[in-house]
C-alpha cells in the first residue's frame, strides 16, 4: 500500500474531527431591523459615497450575518441577495486572513466582466458593499470607502 492508496485504489480520506466540547460561542443580535439605528445618517453616508465616485451603482450596509440593514442600489440586483453575497465574501476573506495569519478582514474586491463588487469591514458586525461598473476608479473607491466604513461603524456603535 502506498501513501496515496487507501486499499481501494483511491485517494486517502480524512476522517471527521469532532469539535471540542464546551460552551457554544454566543453571538450579538443581528443589526438588521434594529429600530435604534440612525438610518438617516447611515443613508446619508451611503449616498455620499455613491455620488462621490463615478461608476458606483449603489452601496449597501449589511450585517456579517448576511442580513440587510440599508441600501441605495440603482441596479436590478436584489438588496437582500447582495447582503448575503457580501457576507459570503467576508467569510471567505476572514478565513484567508486567519489561515495566512494576516490580521482581521478589512476589504475584498471582486472584478467581473462588467463591473466590481467591493466589500469593506464596518467594525466587527457589519459590512459596506459597493457595486460599480467596469469604469469605476477602484483606487479612488479604495481611498474613499474605508473612512466611510469607519464613520458607519461609529454610527452603529452609537458614538457617531
Cell, residue 11: 485517494
Q: What's the pLDDT at 160?
A: 61
The answer to whether the Cα torsion of 64, 65, 70, 73 is positive or negative is positive
Percent of the chain surpassing pLDDT 70? 90
Domain holding 142: CATH number?
3.30.450.30
Q: Which residues pair with 132 in a beta bridge?
A: 56, 116
Contact 127, 63 (CB under 8 A): yes
Owning domain of residue 90: 39-157
Considering the domain boundaries, does residue 19 fall inside one? no
Residue 84 has pLDDT above 70, yes or no: yes
Residue (of 154, 152, 148, 143) closest to 48 by Cα position: 148
Is 127 a domain residue?
A: yes
Q: How many domains does the chain have?
A: 1
Question: Is 65 inside a domain boundary?
Answer: yes
Distance CA 68, CA 126 (A): 10
For 32-52, write each residue's pLDDT tens digit: 878 889 999 999 999 999 999
Question: In terms of pTM, does the model score above 0.85?
Answer: no
pLDDT for residue 138? 95
Examine the pLDDT at 79 and tell me if it is beyond 50.
yes
Amino acid at each position: 500500500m502506498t501513501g496515496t492508496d487507501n486499499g481501494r485504489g483511491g485517494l486517502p480520506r480524512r476522517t471527521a474531527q469532532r469539535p471540542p466540547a464546551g460552551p457554544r460561542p454566543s453571538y450579538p443580535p443581528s443589526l438588521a431591523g434594529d429600530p435604534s439605528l440612525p438610518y438617516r445618517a447611515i443613508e446619508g453616508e451611503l449616498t455620499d459615497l455613491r455620488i462621490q465616485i463615478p461608476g458606483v451603482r449603489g452601496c449597501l450596509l449589511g450585517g456579517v450575518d448576511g442580513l440587510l440593514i440599508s441600501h441605495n442600489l440603482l441596479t436590478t440586483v436584489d438588496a437582500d441577495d447582495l447582503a448575503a453575497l457580501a457576507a459570503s465574501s467576508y467569510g471567505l476573506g476572514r478565513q484567508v486572513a486567519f489561515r495566512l495569519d494576516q490580521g482581521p478582514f478589512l476589504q475584498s474586491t471582486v472584478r467581473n466582466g462588467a463591473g466590481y463588487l467591493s466589500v469593506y469591514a464596518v467594525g466587527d458586525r457589519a459590512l459596506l458593499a459597493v457595486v460599480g461598473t467596469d469604469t469605476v476608479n477602484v483606487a479612488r473607491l479604495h481611498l474613499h470607502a474605508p473612512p466611510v466604513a469607519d464613520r458607519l461603524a461609529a454610527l452603529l456603535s452609537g458614538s457617531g
